[in-house]
Structure 1
Amino acid sequence: MPRTFDDARRWARLGTELFLGAAGAGLGEPSALPGWTRAHLVAHVAANADALGNLVHWAATGEPTPMYASPEERATVIERGRALRAAELSAWLRDSADALEKGMAALGEEQWGAQVVTAQGRTVPATEVPWLRSREVCVHAVDLANGVSFADLPADFLTALCDDVVAKLAAAPGPAASLRAPGAAWELPGHGETALVTGELHEIAAYLTGREAIPAAPTLGAWL
């Protein structure tokens, strides 16, 4: 069943709580992302809330407000944020999440239908913002490597995530694969003989997003 707007709003709130809980300690420790500490990830997620808040402002006012001025500005903000003292970084994370939630809660039906532009240059209705946020906080809560795993994420979110990743991977060259989880299946067109990849739903989601390998499964390209 396709994800709904209400689903995405619910996942964004749940993922935010998971991320906040996992980001509570050890910010100087390595994350699961190569070369990044947990502080890098916290700064990234806080900056993402501010950036998505720009899209909410765009939808609310009609004033074009890009997520980031440039990729360089985005990198600078993260680097500056990860160097903050732990208390300051944690406060930014929580305050930015609260501001984004309040901004979304204030949008009316017509404003939710406004067209905005993502950091990847896609023009989408503002109703996509909760999905972008839920994807960010849920996946990066796992990336913090501090007690949250894909198995802790809701099954309906994982299904929607797999749908999203498969759609993106299918649009680029890559290996052909047939993915099977209990009660769910996806087909990835591509080159070579189609590989059968099986696992639990959380394992398929982790594999598709490049977080965990599945034995004998082909290596996939980046999804974002």
Structure 2
Amino acid sequence: MDGLDVLADETALLLASVESLDIEDLAHPSNLPDWTRGHVLAHIAGNAEGLGRRARSMSDAVPRSMYESLESRSGDIAWRSRRTVAQHAQALASTQADFAYDLAGIPADRAGDDMEIRLGLMVRIGDLPLLRLQEICVHHADLGVSTYDWSNWPPALVAWMLPRITASFAAREGFPVGWVEVEGARISVGPDPTTGVSGGATEVVAWLVGRAPGSGLAVTGVDAVPVPPAWL
């Protein structure tokens, strides 16, 4: 499956960031509304558990939801946000190892099949490592630590995210510009072909998902880089 080596590297970087924190750092607000860094870390670990459940269902055909319910998901994040640094690190490492184990059980001939993750979110089975990589890298940046932000996202992840995100926005209404342009390639995201945003792939993706203001991007037909709608 694609992305396994990069996933291992980015997991190690996340664990290094976690181990550099202390208990006061965990209670510090993250870059996400109403979440501390502890909430973000609890969510990352819970995501590995949820993706692992879906991966197991692809192996044994036993139906499993990613989360029992949105209410239980939120409750688990709040409860587990109070872990210590060591507990967060252990949870991240163990859930990632379990996810890798569950992933390895999927038959190779199913890699090209599509699967539903939750709430209509579809992904190719062979792209599950990249979906997990997205979770780790985006939320690593959300921690707001000095050693990691969106500019550190690996090129393999950015290349995978860009067409998925732009296709998602193009399928909706109300995107504030008509296109984004990366390395000379123009991608439609809205109805107005006279307006657009262009720049480097990583910054464009970070802007699209609300992790960068787009200060390094160029605009056409509008006065300033707009704020995109919510990604998910």
- Report the TM-score, using the length of structure 2 for normalisation: 0.84
CA positional deviation for 1:207: 0.6
User: Which residue in the other structure is 1:218 paired with?
Assistant: 226
Check 1:114–1:164 CA distance in 2 against 1; reply closer, same or farther (3 A cut): closer
Give the AA of the match of 2:197.
V
CA RMSD of aligned residues (A): 2.2
8 A Cα contact 2:130 2:157, kept in partner: no
Matched, 1:139 2:138: yes
User: Which residue in the other structure is 1:37 paired with?
Assistant: 36
Q: Secondary structure at the residue paired with 1:69?
A: coil
Q: Distance in 2 between matches of 1:28 and 1:185?
A: 42
User: Which residue in the other structure is 1:12 paired with?
Assistant: 7
Matched, 1:86 2:85: yes
Give the AA of the match of 1:222.
A
CA positional deviation for 1:43: 0.2
Q: Distance in 1 between matches of 2:100 and 2:106?
A: 10
8 A Cα contact 1:66 1:117, kept in partner: no
Within 5 A, what are the aligned runs for 1:18-167?
18-24=13-19, 25=21, 26-110=25-109, 112=111, 116-122=115-121, 124-146=123-145, 147-167=147-167
CA positional deviation for 1:50: 0.4
Q: Distance in 1 between matches of 2:39 and 2:152?
A: 22
Unaligned runs of 5+ in 2: 216-223
Give the AA of the match of 1:126.
I
CA positional deviation for 1:133: 0.6
Q: Distance in 2 between matches of 1:36 and 1:114?
A: 35
Q: Which structure's relative contact order is higher, taking Cα pairs within 8 Å and 6+ residues apart?
A: 1
Percent of residue pairs bearing the same amino acid type: 29
| Higher mean C-alpha displacement, 195-204 vs 163-172 | 195-204
Q: Distance in 1 between matches of 2:46 and 2:37?
A: 14
8 A Cα contact 2:179 2:188, kept in partner: yes
CA positional deviation for 1:23: 2.3
| Higher mean C-alpha displacement, 211-220 vs 130-139 | 211-220
| Higher mean C-alpha displacement, 104-113 vs 81-90 | 104-113
Give the paired residue count.
218
Give the AA of the match of 1:186.
I
Within 5 A, what are the aligned runs for 1:173-184?
173-174=173-174, 175-182=176-183, 184=185
Q: Distance in 2 between matches of 1:60 and 1:98?
A: 17
8 A Cα contact 1:59 1:112, kept in partner: no
CA positional deviation for 1:200: 2.4
